Amino acid sequence: MINNLTDAYDEGDTFIKYLNELQPLRKEIIDRGKKETFKIAVRKNEVLPNLNHINGDCLFFIVKGLVRAFILDEGKDITAWLTDENHLIGRIRNHGAFIPTYQEQYQALEDSELIILPYRFIDDMYAQFPETNILARKLLAIHYHMSQERSILSRIPSAEIRYKQFKTGYPTIKSRVPLKFLASYLGMRIETLCRVRKKEKLQAKA
């Protein structure tokens, strides 16, 4: 069920704090955000719902929980990325003619709470408040860095090193992701991941 954040914005303070740490925002922007953004609760294993009723695309900020993005390729479910609290997720708009080969879908891997930011609201903020454009560039830099890290991880030939790199790069979610989704994200079979984890445990005991 979707609720207006003005009804319960204590949890939304996490979102405001996150943005303010990147770029200080005037009170007018914060007040506008409380009126124009929404909260949605998604149960574990549910796919995030279609939100066409808010008139267009949107981004999500994870207040609580863990979410994966996935694509379907000839019926095969492939995990594209994983992320948890205090991160924005969603389709980054491209104003050119590029059409993505695959449409990402999003699934909650834990009971999750997300704040919804409609793009129409984001566009209004860009037009009215110059500092929000600075904020957008900083957020884009964060997402570009995360994309680079995922790209590098996928190209490491050794399954053992890929797993170790994942644990280093994702310390807050390394034990929260189900094996089948983690194996898919790391580009290996579940059996391979289990073997890598077992070997690592034996080495730790030695």
What is residue 91's predicted lDDT score, i.e. its pLDDT? 75
Q: At residue 46, what are phi and psi to the nearest 5 degrees? A: -75, 145
Residues 140 and 162 placed together within one structural domain of the fold: no
CB 92 within 8 A of CB 119: no
CATH number for the domain that contains residue 124: 2.60.120.10
Whole domain around residue 193: which residue ranges? 156-206
Residues 57 and 139 placed together within one structural domain of the fold: yes
Higher pLDDT, 182 or 37: 182
DSSP characters over 44-101? TTPBPPP-GGGSS-EEEEEEES-EEEEEEETTEEEEEEEE-SS-EESPPP--SS---S
What is residue 7's predicted lDDT score, i.e. its pLDDT? 40
Render pLDDT for 127-159 as a digit per residue (tens, 0 to 9). Answer: 999 999 999 999 989 989 988 999 999 899 999
Residues 74 and 164 placed together within one structural domain of the fold: no
What is residue 3's predicted lDDT score, i.e. its pLDDT? 39
Render pLDDT for 53-66 as a digit per residue (tens, 0 to 9). Answer: 454 588 899 999 99
Q: List strand residue ranges (DSSP E) for the chain, in order.
A: 2-4, 38-42, 58-64, 67-73, 76-83, 88-89, 105-108, 112-118
Residues 107 and 7 placed together within one structural domain of the fold: yes
- The pTM (predicted TM-score) of the whole model is 0.84
- In 3-state terms, what secondary structure has residue 102? coil
CB 110 within 8 A of CB 66: yes
